[in-house]
Amino acid sequence: MSTPADLDEQVTKIRDTLHALRRTLLDLERTYADLDAHTLDVDALGDPTTAPETLESAVDALRAAQDTLGIADADLDVARRHTARLKEQRQ
């Protein structure tokens, strides 16, 4: 049987995992942002584009993912404030 404390610990573990994912994503975003688009090329698949446009789009998408994870983190913070308060009734 799951106790409120066990469930709260699971929420905490999810937040810790999310924080690690956000750090990894931020590192990836920064690494892409540091690339020199003028030294890159793109393939001929899909719509015509340039390396600078494609790189900018990739970095923008990674930033959007970071924003989305930030919203999830804030929601988990709210959940954690509530889950931490729950306990079993004393008999």
Assess contact for 76 and 87: CB atoms under 8 A: no
HSE toward the beta carbon, residue 34, CA cutoff 13 A: 6
Tell me the pTM: 0.85
Which tens digit of pLDDT belongs to each residue from 70-85?
Answer: 999 999 999 999 999 9
Q: Of 60, 68, 54, 57, whose CA–CA distance to 22 is shortest?
A: 68
Place of tokens 């750090």: 23
Which tens digit of pLDDT belongs to each residue from 2-56?
Answer: 999 999 999 999 999 999 999 999 999 999 999 999 999 999 999 999 999 999 9
Calpha distance 73→48 (Å, rounded): 37
